[in-house]
Amino acid sequence: MKKIGILTSGGDCSGMNAAIRSATRTALGHGVQVVGFRKGYAGLLKGDLLEMTTRDVAGILHRGGTFLQSARSEEFRTVLGREKAVRHLQDLGVEGLVVIGGDGSLNGALALHRMGVPVMGIPASIDNDIAFTDMALGVDTALNNIIYAVDCIKDTASSHDRAFVIEVMGRNSGYLASMSAIATGAEYAIIPEVECDIADLCNQLRQRYEEGRSNAIIILAEGAGRAQNIADNIKDAIGFETRVTVLGHYQRGGAPSVFDRLLGSRFGHAAVEQLLAGEKGKMVGLCCGEICCTALETVVVSEKTQQDQLHDLSMILGI
Ligand code: F6P
């Protein structure tokens, strides 16, 4: 292989830059040229790219987001769009592609693989909803962001005898909510994977209020409902005054944690080594601390299943 491409696609996350830098430097170290496509598949379709040298990826490791930028491309979802992408890769002489992104992006990578493009995927999504990796890139940084915010909110909640419903991201996954509930000692986590019993929630909060506790924190995964609706449903039954905080995109940014810097560096290196060794149509992942590699067609049809266990733990510890 003489030239490879790299792109970041879908929702950005911290650690993507570490993966880009590592993949680029690994390839260059093998004498392989690297092009970076801007704004994910959209850049691939437009031919919006940059030739990457080792200096281009200097000074990005500690920065959140992705310096290649990211996007969700409607055109790439179409057969015509994908055929165009394959043609562009051929015209550019790009013989392999590293796709850094979440489940939609990995589905796109699988489509390209099926059209004959050697592709390696790197799981990157704060939702941590991608199977065959214990952690996706960006999850650890997002959790650190969330717990910082929740700790701050607890301070003001306790000054005012208030209950807060704090909405976190995660799309259909409750991972961020369950883990942040455990890590902040929240009273309750509401996640899409487990039906929420509002009466039970109100009883627990009411009891807490009557015991004279100074605050209550409920972490709500966005896929399980809207924070304002939950707050409206419980406010008359729990004693505490209620307030709502939606953490939003704050969760996705910021300097990557050590964990995400190391994970991105390991993933980027492994993806390129695998590609150059002739592997294709696979995703690198983290399995029990080691780098693993799984066929994309297996990854995209598999569900990550640990959320309800984490939820149970968060409920036990929050009481
Ligand atoms: O998939 C990552 C994610 O941050 C989800 O948690 C969230 O629902 C979504 O992306 C937000 O997407 P956008 O940045 O397009 O608003």
Predicted pLDDT of residue 126: 98
Residue minimizing CA distance to atom 8 of ligand 1? 171
Sign of CA dihedral 134, 41, 5, 109: positive
Model confidence at 148, pLDDT cuts 50, 70, 90, reads very high
Predicted pLDDT of residue 144: 98
Q: How long, in residues, is the chain?
A: 319
- Percent of residues, the chain, with pLDDT higher than 90: 95
Cα 180 from Cα 187, distance rounded (Å): 11
Beta bridge partners of 217: 164
Whole-number Å distance, alpha carbon 212 to ligand 1 midpoint, is 38
Whole-number Å distance, alpha carbon 146 to ligand 1 midpoint, is 15
The pTM (predicted TM-score) of the whole model is 0.96
Local structure of 128: helix, strand or coil: coil
Query: Rg of the Cα trace of the chain?
Result: 21
Model confidence at 318, pLDDT cuts 50, 70, 90, reads confident
Give phi and psi for 241, each to the nearest 5: -70, 145
- What does each C-alpha distance from 199 to 196, 206, 255 come to in angstroms? 9, 10, 40
**Pocket lining: 129 vs ligand 1, CB cutoff 6 Å:** no
Q: Is the pLDDT assigned to residue 9 strictly greater than 70?
A: yes
Structure token digits, residue 222? 């966005």
Cα 6 from Cα 193, distance rounded (Å): 34
Whole-number Å distance, alpha carbon 204 to ligand 1 midpoint, is 31
Burial of residue 172 (number of CB atoms within 10 Å: 0-12, 13-18, 19+): middle
Return the ligand 1 atom nearest residue 102 CA: 1
Return the ligand 1 atom nearest residue 222 CA: 8
pLDDT tens digits, one per residue of 103-136: 999 999 999 999 999 999 999 999 999 999 999 9
pLDDT tens digits, one per residue of 48-77: 999 999 999 999 999 999 999 999 899 999
Q: Is the pLDDT assigned to residue 15 strictly greater than 70?
A: yes
